[in-house]
Amino acid sequence: MSVRPDPAAVPHLVVTPGTAFGIYVHVPFCATRCGYCDFNTYTAGELGGATPQGWLAAARAELAMAADVLGEVVVDTVFVGGGTPSLLGGDGLAAVLAAIGDKFPLAPDAEITTEANPESTSAEFFEQIRSAGYTRVSLGMQSAVPRVLATLDRTHSPGRALEAAAQATAAGFEHLNLDLIYGTPGESDDDLRRSVEAVLSADVDHVSAYALVVEEGTALARRVRRGEITRPDDDVLAHRYELLDTWLSDAGLQWYEVSNWSSPGGECRHNLGYWNGGQWWGVGPGAHGFVGNVRWWNVKHPNAYAQKIDEEQLPIADFERLDAHDRHVEDVLLRIRLRGGLPVGLLTESERERAEHAVPAGLLTAVDGHLVLTRRGRLLADAVVRDVLYD
Ligand SMILES: C[S@@+](CC[C@H](N)C(=O)[O-])C[C@H]1O[C@@H](n2cnc3c(N)ncnc32)[C@H](O)[C@@H]1O
Ligand code: SF4
């Protein structure tokens, strides 16, 4: 990556016209920490006095600074993620969206998503956020099997996630995602089948399914190290991915990114922006942004974030400028993960030659000038990218 010229300099940010522009808002609060999660989120005891009210005031101020820096940019997508955005309640999430709308014009067909944890939602919550202007909800379900949820330290019952999905649908949400985690120690193929059947019964238009990653420093990693549970096996994870892909595609949900399936028109436009080289501003502690050729990330703790804002500074921890080579590597890394595939014209001659070897190996197929991962290729996506990019 290119080294920034002056460590103290705040980058000059200018949106390049012609690509989608999004706003990501990071809500850094969780009621409890799930044993597998290393996201930038804090439980009450870890907040050191920081409060959701203080966070909202600081986020508003960051939005005002963003509007000053960028000028008038139309927002195509908003994604409120976490942490647990639903802990803000319907009022809090309505206030977040109003704060964005105060500072930026929203496209008439803007996609406005919030993540939510089933246990901090209700029928009223969904009605409130729907009438505030949210168009899409992403619920963390993870599994339909109580034993698996217990291993993941999830505090909701399997039924609550489905009930929340039904309440969101009743409130008028046509775009609904359920997150699943597969490969949890102790999960069987049959457990996964039960989870997928439950997801399909909820009639959602989007499913994200992630292989459980044992992140260093988490309670899960400590349990694995102590030998209390065994790390998910790669062959088992690959088999589960194939099962998921078969069951979801048979039900009309097609993969459009390696870990994401949707019905036609149900794709998450905000996330497609990340994968297609779009630009976005990340608001909140630890949020990342990418505008022009600059990628930056905010300070992580809510108190450090609020302090920077109090000092009327952008709450940036650091940034880097991407040169043409960095952008190329990033493009290949991200676009290969999409069902649309990698345009062959994007590759250098030697990359194209290396990519062509992956075709007879059954990892990529050529479709209309694009190289698309096969199902086996999707399982080995990282290795395929390495082979294409490097000798
Ligand atoms: C960080 S969470 C935020 C949303 C919400 N708090 C929740 O838990 O549903 C987003 C998603 O990331 C996934 N995730 C987080 N940590 C993971 C891990 N270590 N392995 C696999 N998936 C993970 C979970 O599926 C989760 O729903
Ligand atoms: S998985 Fe979601 S609810 Fe659990 S700790 Fe992470 S952000 Fe919070």
Structural domain that includes position 378: 341-390
Per-residue pLDDT at 125 = 98
| CA–CA dist 216, 37 (Å, integer) | 10
Runs of H (alpha helix) within the chain? 52-70, 89-103, 123-132, 146-151, 158-170, 189-201, 219-225, 234-250, 269-275, 302-310, 324-335, 349-357, 375-379, 381-389
210 lines ligand 2 (CB under 6 A): no
Per-residue pLDDT at 7 = 46
Task: Give how many domains the chain has, as a whole number.
Answer: 2
Q: Of the candidates 79, 83, 28, 25, which has an alpha carbon nearest to the alpha carbon of residue 52?
A: 28
* 363 and 220 assigned to the same domain: no
Residue closest via CA to ligand 2's atom 4 equals 34
213 lines ligand 1 (CB under 6 A): yes
Which ligand minimizes its atom distance to the CA of 142?
Answer: 1
Boundary (domain end) residue, out of 253, 276, 299: 276
Per-residue pLDDT at 155 = 83
- pLDDT one-digit tens code per residue, 15-25: 998 889 999 99
Per-residue pLDDT at 391 = 74
In a 3-state reduction of DSSP, which class is residue 209?
Answer: strand
Q: β-strands 260-262, 279-283: how paired? A: unpaired
Q: CA 16 → CA 6, 21, 219, 277, 293, distances in Å?
A: 23, 9, 42, 11, 9
Per-residue pLDDT at 310 = 96
Per the domain annotation, does 383 fall within a domain? yes
Nearest ligand 1 atom to alpha carbon 139: 9
Per the domain annotation, does 128 fall within a domain? yes
Per the domain annotation, does 12 fall within a domain? no
Report CA(209)–ligand 1 centroid distance (Å): 10
Report CA(33)–ligand 1 centroid distance (Å): 11
* 142 and 42 assigned to the same domain: yes
181 lines ligand 1 (CB under 6 A): yes
Angle between helices 52-70 and 302-310 (to 10 degrees): 50
Per-residue pLDDT at 9 = 58
Report CA(37)–ligand 1 centroid distance (Å): 7
Boundary (domain end) residue, out of 276, 295, 325: 276
- pLDDT one-digit tens code per residue, 286-312: 999 999 999 999 999 999 999 999 999
- pLDDT one-digit tens code per residue, 194-213: 999 999 999 899 999 999 99
Boundary (domain end) residue, out of 276, 296, 313: 276
